[in-house]
Structure 1
Amino acid sequence: MRLGFALALLLLPLIPGTALARVGAVPAKVWSQLGQSHWIAQGNGARVLYVIFDPNCPYCHVLIDELQPLIKPMHLQVRYLLVGFLDPGSSQEKAAYILQAKDPLAAILENEKKFNMEHFGGVPEVLPDARSEKILKDNLALLTSIGQKIVPTMIYPEKDGSYQVVQKALGPNSLRDVLKGIPEQAKNLPAQ
């Protein structure tokens, strides 16, 4: 199973929407839009990191998995925004399951725990209700406004007041470097 997963990761750049792409600045208005969007928080640290992901994205799975042991010691609040476009047959339905769950964060973690490269991996698929459809549409529009429809996408503030976007897979050391560079925000972070 591990060999199959590794082989699939090698082939991922050939799948639209998962290509390793972009690192750069984003306008402050994007950061403001992120704060007003529908996100699911993990952690209550003062360093805010937005992660836009698709429940069927292998690179997203790797990122979320690598973030888990770093959230508490690095004082992170990871704000997950769901999109559902990679697999027309199940991405939206899995995203809907997460959004409609009583505990959406637990549903994200369940998806990661059960994730595999098969269509049936992760969480169950449900039809999106009107609220979930709107959230997914709005989140996808926000992702597209950044420049490229690629997941995972990380957006975070820099100490100089700018905002950065990373639309590519990072190795563990590069990820730690990015997280260390995120300044601590005011203690009164907006709740959702």
Structure 2
Amino acid sequence: TTAPAATVPAAQAGSSYDLVASKGKGFAVGALMSAQPVYVLFDPQCPHCGRLWQAALPLHNKVKFVWIPISFNPTKSLPQGAALLSAANPVDTMTAHEQSLLAGTGGMAASADVPEEIKQAINNNTQLLNQLGVDSVPFLLGKHRKTGDIVSFNGAMETAALANLLGVE
């Protein structure tokens, strides 16, 4: 089943998109030259986030995704988010991490020794999620490819539903 669309009021949607674009710190994957990035706030320990990652993979040739780690669980999520932010190849690292997480093995092993700058970035991302009034992840914000309207969604979805939400064929 899919979660309901997020409840960001239409008047706030544009400012929410701009806020995440300017304040969120994440890693970009997919069609990196795309002028309309899709932002995904996620917790590295969230299985729904792993499902959304898998659903987004087939769209990487058409869509630029910026995955923004937050931390609901500082013991595990913070080190894993830091490892993902500093990965040389974020697609391979995130794919392996999500496969491990969804297989029930907890995701990647990550050092608890997180550089202060990265720790602060993830803490700021978590505050950003709270500032948006959103209390669960994954939370996606993007622009519909055809209409330019801001779209948002809370939860996992299948590839076809994600493509439809974003106006991608």
Normalization by structure 2: what TM-score?
0.80
- Mapped partners of 1:135, 1:107: distance in 2: 19
SS for the counterpart of 2:44 is coil
Deviates more, 1:89-98 or 1:131-140: 89-98
Query: Which residue identity does 2:69 align to in structure 1?
Result: L
CA shift digits 1:45-68 (9 cap, x unpaired): 524211111111111101100111
CA 103–171 in structure 1, closer or farther in 2 if over 3 Å, else same: closer
**How many Å separate the matches in 1 of 2:138 and 2:25?**
17
Shift of 1:21: 5.3
Within the candidate set 12, 18, 23, 2:6 is matched to: 23
Match of residue 111 from structure 1: 97
Match of 1:64 in 2: 53
Distance in structure 2 (CA, Å) of the matches to 1:100 and 1:155: 23
Q: Which residue of 2 is the match for residue 121 of structure 1?
A: 106
Letter paired with 1:31: Y
Partner of 2:83: 97
Q: Deviation at 1:164? A: 2.5
Native 8 Å contact 2:44 2:81 kept in 1: yes
TM superposition outliers: structure 1 runs of 4+ over 6 Å: none
Rg comparison, structure with higher value: 1
| Residue aligned with 1:176, SS | helix
Q: CA RMSD in A?
A: 2.6
Residues 100 and 176 of structure 1: CA distance in aligned 2, closer, same or farther (over 3 Å): closer
Deviation at 1:142, TM superposition (A): 1.2
Report the CA distance shift for 1:91/1:117 in structure 2 as closer, same or farther (over 3 A).
farther
Count matched residues: 161
- The structural deviation recorded for 1:111 is 1.0
* Equivalent residue number for residue 158 of structure 2: 171
| Offset of residue 31 of structure 1 | 1.8
Structure 1 distance, partners of 2:37, 2:133, is 21
Structure 1 unmatched ranges of 5 or more: 1-9, 11-18, 183-192
Match of 2:67 in 1: 80
SS in 1 for 2:40: strand
Whole-Å separation in 1 of the counterparts to 2:100 and 2:18: 33
Structure 1 residue 144: Cα displacement: 1.1
